[in-house]
């Protein structure tokens, strides 16, 4: 017979979609999720306006929209659902955060781009690039810390890592290099911001996640994923 206990501080509980909703603290978790996803889209918009390089997946998005009549945010939404189709053979389970991620990031990115012009001064562009990366780290920590489901691209990485037995770091590297290459072939935007993002986003999210992770109950004897550790080894 299993019992329910609280996970130690700094632990991400491994819960299914229904368990995520039943775990409580929704009055904090849902607003935190929404704020995190909106800020994620804002951070994307900041990096675009900085024009010094985009995050790996956004290199792909920016290349794709050069060939189709879509906004960047619409491309983010489209590719989110394409990636979710790849969850099916991997048997990944989406949460409400997964679906919200698919919509809100793209929508908030488009709003940010509509409100923010591209500056001419290098100092302003650098500030937008650096600010976008830091804000993305905070946004990532907020939405992951709400414990309401992985984003589509994160779920693809963790699902592939689990199914192949490869480390999460290796799977992430292969995926991100692949989408960058495809994005470049399509005419996507690559620059110093891409390198900065690749080097900084992991450490930033690792530092910030313990600040905002919501402690949830887990079943006694089950293992959560300690914050900042690679769940795939």
Sign of torsion over alpha carbons 142, 178, 192, 189: negative
Look at residue 221 in the predicted model and tell me its pLDDT.
41
- List the chain domain ranges: 28-214
Q: Name the more confident of 187 and 11.
A: 187
Average pLDDT (65-74) is 96
Buried b (16+ CB within 10 A) or exposed e, 145-167: bbbbbbbbbbbbbbbbbbeeeee
Distance CA 42, CA 146 (A): 19
pLDDT at position 152, please? Answer: 94
Please determine, for residue 9, whether its predicted confidence score (pLDDT) is greater than 60.
no
Average pLDDT, integer, range 88-104: 90
For residue 181, pLDDT over 90 is answered with yes
As a whole number of angstroms, the distance between CA 227 and CA 82 comes to 28
The pLDDT confidence band at residue 158, using thresholds 50, 70 and 90, is confident
Q: Tell me what the pLDDT averaged over the chain comes to.
A: 86
Q: Is the pLDDT of residue 213 over 80?
A: yes
Joined tokens for residue 73:
């945010």
Mean pLDDT check: name the lowest of 24-28, 57-61, 153-157, 225-229.
225-229
């Amino acid at each position: 017979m299993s019992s329910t206990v609280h996970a130690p501080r700094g632990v991400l509980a491994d819960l299914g979609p229904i368990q995520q909703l039943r775990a409580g603290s929704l009055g904090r978790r849902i607003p935190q999720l929404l704020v995190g996803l909106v800020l994620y889209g804002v951070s994307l918009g900041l990096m675009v306006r900085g024009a010094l390089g985009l995050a790996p997946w956004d290199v792909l998005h920016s290349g794709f929209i050069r060939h189709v009549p879509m906004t960047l945010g619409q491309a983010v939404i489209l590719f989110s659902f394409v990636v979710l189709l790849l969850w099916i053979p991997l048997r990944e389970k989406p949460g409400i955060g997964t679906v919200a991620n698919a919509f809100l990031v793209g929508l908030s990115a488009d709003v940010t781009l509509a409100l923010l012009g591209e500056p001419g001064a290098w100092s302003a562009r650098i500030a937008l690039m650096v600010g976008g990366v830091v804000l993305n780290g905070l946004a990532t920590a907020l939405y992951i810390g709400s414990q309401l489901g992985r984003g589509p691209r994160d779920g693809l990485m963790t699902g592939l890592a689990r199914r192949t037995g490869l480390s999460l770091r290796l799977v992430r590297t292969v995926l991100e290099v692949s989408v960058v290459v495809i994005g470049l072939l399509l005419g996507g935007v690559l620059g110093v911001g891409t390198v900065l993002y690749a080097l900084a986003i992991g450490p930033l999210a690792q530092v910030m996640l313990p600040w905002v992770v919501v402690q949830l109950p887990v079943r006694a004897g089950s293992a959560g994923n300690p914050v900042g550790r690679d769940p795939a080894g």
